[in-house]
Amino acid sequence: MNPIEEQIESVVDSILEDYRNGRDIDKLDPFQQPDKAVVIDMIGKLMRILYPGAAREKTYRIYNARHNLSMLIEDVMYNLNKQIAIVLRSHMPQKEAEEKAQQVSLEFFRAIPKVRAMAQTDVQAFFDGDPAAFSIDEIIFCYPGLFAISVYRLAHVLYQQGVPVLPRIMTEHAHSITGIDINPGASIGEYFFIDHGTGIVIGETTVIGDHVKVYQGVTLGALTTRGGQSLRGKKRHPTIEDHVTIYAGASILGGGTVIGSNSVIGSNVFITHSIPACTTVSVKSQELQFKPRSCGGNCESCTKPEPFWEEQK
Average of per-residue pLDDT across 157-165: 97
Is 215 within the bounds of a domain?
A: yes
Question: Contact, 136 vs 119, CB < 8 A?
Answer: no
263 forms bridges with which residues in the sheet?
A: none
Which domain, by its residues, includes 210? Answer: 186-313
Same domain, yes or no, for 221 and 176?
A: no
Same domain, yes or no, for 79 and 204?
A: no
CATH code for the domain in which residue 210 is found: 2.160.10.10
Same domain, yes or no, for 129 and 95?
A: yes
More confident of the two residues 172 and 10: 172
Is 11 within the bounds of a domain?
A: no
Average of per-residue pLDDT across 196-218: 97
- Choose the final residue of a domain: 180, 200, 216: 180
Is 274 within the bounds of a domain?
A: yes
The pLDDT score that the predictor gives to residue 238 is: 98
Residues 6+ apart with CB under 8 A from 165: 34, 87
Same domain, yes or no, for 170 and 197?
A: no
Same domain, yes or no, for 265 and 164?
A: no
Question: Contact, 241 vs 211, CB < 8 A?
Answer: no
For residue 54, pLDDT over 90 is answered with no
Is 120 within the bounds of a domain?
A: yes
**Least confident stretch, 15-24, 239-248, 256-265:** 15-24
Is 268 within the bounds of a domain?
A: yes
Same domain, yes or no, for 157 and 31?
A: yes
**Least confident stretch, 70-79, 157-166, 237-246:** 70-79
Q: Which helix (H) or strand (E) holds 182?
A: strand 181-182
Average of per-residue pLDDT across 4-18: 85
Same domain, yes or no, for 245 and 150?
A: no
Average of per-residue pLDDT across 213-233: 89
- Choose the final residue of a domain: 145, 180, 215: 180
- Mean pLDDT of all residues belonging to the chain: 90
Average of per-residue pLDDT across 243-268: 98
| Among the listed residues 257, 166, 242, 146, the one whose alpha carbon sits nearest the alpha carbon of residue 203 | 257
The pLDDT score that the predictor gives to residue 33 is: 86
Is 234 within the bounds of a domain?
A: yes
Number of domains in the chain: 2
* DSSP-based helix, strand, coil % in the chain, nearest 5: 50, 10, 40
The pLDDT score that the predictor gives to residue 231 is: 78
The pLDDT score that the predictor gives to residue 268 is: 96
Same domain, yes or no, for 162 and 78?
A: yes
Same domain, yes or no, for 44 and 163?
A: yes
More confident of the two residues 171 and 290: 171
89-128 pLDDT, tens digit per residue, is 988 899 999 999 999 999 999 999 999 999 999 999 999 9
Is 36 within the bounds of a domain?
A: yes
Same domain, yes or no, for 139 and 190?
A: no
For residue 222, pLDDT over 70 is answered with yes
CATH code for the domain in which residue 79 is found: 1.10.3130.10
- Choose the final residue of a domain: 146, 180, 214: 180
pLDDT band at 150 (very low <50, low <70, confident <90, very high): very high
pLDDT band at 55 (very low <50, low <70, confident <90, very high): low
| Among the listed residues 120, 37, 42, 28, the one whose alpha carbon sits nearest the alpha carbon of residue 79 | 42
Residue 245: helix, strand or coil by DSSP?
strand
Same domain, yes or no, for 57 and 124?
A: yes
Is 57 within the bounds of a domain?
A: yes
pLDDT band at 6 (very low <50, low <70, confident <90, very high): confident
Same domain, yes or no, for 32 and 174?
A: yes
| Runs of H (alpha helix) within 20-111 | 36-50, 65-88, 94-110
